[in-house]
Amino acid sequence: MEAKNISQGILNAILKLGLITLGIFLLIELKVLLVYLVVAAIISLIGRPIVLFLRNKLKFSNLLAASVSLLVLGSLLFGIISLFIPLVIQQGENLSLLNLNELEYKLEKLMNEISLFLNLDPTNIEQYSSLKNFINTDNLGVIPEFLNHLLSLLGSFTIGLFSVTFISFFLLKDSHILENAILVFVNEKSEGRLKKSFEKIKNLLSRYFLGLLLQITILLIMYSIILLLFGIKNAIVIAFLCALLNLIPYIGPLIGAVLMMFLTMTSNLEADFSTVILPKTIYVMIGFFIGQLIDNFFSQPFIFSNSVKSHPLEIFIVILAGGTLMGTTGMIVAIPLYTALKVIFKAFLSENKIVKSLTQDL
């Protein structure tokens, strides 16, 4: 009997190990599907308060509440995309009327003025600013390849958009689909605690993603005001891009600062560098850093303390750990993943001293 139990245990362990290996293999091979699921899950978490409001307050059915919520989110996305249409049209007109010699002259003039202002050797910069080194007949052969790649990306985007929309609809309509799929692999004793954990995770992450939308909106308003005050072209689009980059912790604001500085300088190429371009860029960057200070010391602490219930130092360490393990992607997903793990640990390891200290505010 003892030998039979041991062999049965070994067989079960091998079976579980095989299933885990198969699961990891499928995750690697179906990583695109996993991305669709993650994006759809985030959309469903953002739309969850709308569904609950429509279902509980206005007595909508699940089908109608999910449809209206998805329509609202789709309209917001369309509105955001429509902001870029004038910019794309303007850039298309500029390219159709582009005088390469004039553009080269302006860029070289800007580089020379920067080098003179910083006491650099202009000859070392001119070789990088010359468009003739890039735009020549030898490089025109890449155009067909680029167009094919663009069509391929457009096809992939269309498939991805349809897939994410389809999955998001059913996650909004039947919010327990993913939970039920996971509960299949859990024993009956743990089902109750795990269901409560899922509900807590959904509430916290919904508040977190809505808080991020509020953070982006605040930055968008501040950046737009700054850029409009100094007459920067396409101010709202630039402000939105820089605010959106803020979703990437620590690295995003640096990229946003460089982007805003570059676009501010290039929007005034025809002006004098020392009297117009440089002062205007300095003022814009001062405004940018004031916005970052407001975000770092007011917006982010408010979002983290009221949504994921974590201390700013705790969040900082988690983001750094995520970045070390998985790069930029790890930095973005670190907080949601850490929040989910905290809730699960509290449900199953609530007596552990470390878990108790980390989850006392949950």
| Residue 204, pLDDT above cutoff 60 | yes
Q: Smallest Cα–Cα separation from 283: which of 301, 298, 264?
A: 264
CA atoms within 13 A on the CB side of 174: 8
| Residue 92, pLDDT above cutoff 50 | yes
Token readout for 243 is 């605010």
Which comes out higher in pLDDT, residue 356 or 288? Answer: 288
% of the chain at pLDDT higher than 70: 72
Position 123 scores a pLDDT of 53
User: Does an H or E element contain 209, and which?
Assistant: helix 188-229
| Residue 313, pLDDT above cutoff 50 | yes
Phi, psi values for residue 99, rounded to 5°: -105, 105
Could you tell me the pLDDT band of residue 259, with boundaries at 50, 70 and 90? confident
pTM score, two decimals?
0.66
| Residue 304, pLDDT above cutoff 80 | no
pLDDT in tens, 314-330: 888 888 888 888 777 77
Distance CA 249, CA 143 (A): 36
Lowest mean pLDDT among 75-89, 236-250, 342-356: 75-89
- Rounded to a whole number of angstroms, the CA Rg of the chain reads 26
Query: Could you give the C-alpha distances from 197 to 63, 168, 176, 204, 211, in angstroms and in order?
Result: 25, 21, 13, 11, 21
Which comes out higher in pLDDT, residue 42 or 153? Answer: 42
Tell me what the mean pLDDT of segment 60-88 comes to. 80
Tell me what the mean pLDDT of segment 246-268 comes to. 82
**DSSP state at residue 246:** T
Tell me what the mean pLDDT of segment 209-227 comes to. 87
Tell me what the mean pLDDT of segment 24-33 comes to. 72
Position 101 scores a pLDDT of 60
Position 128 scores a pLDDT of 47
Could you tell me the pLDDT band of residue 130, with boundaries at 50, 70 and 90? very low
Distance CA 204, CA 355 (A): 18
Position 269 scores a pLDDT of 64
| Residue 3, pLDDT above cutoff 80 | no
Tell me what the mean pLDDT of segment 67-94 comes to. 73
Distance CA 5, CA 7 (A): 5
Which comes out higher in pLDDT, residue 139 or 53? Answer: 53
Distance CA 329, CA 148 (A): 28
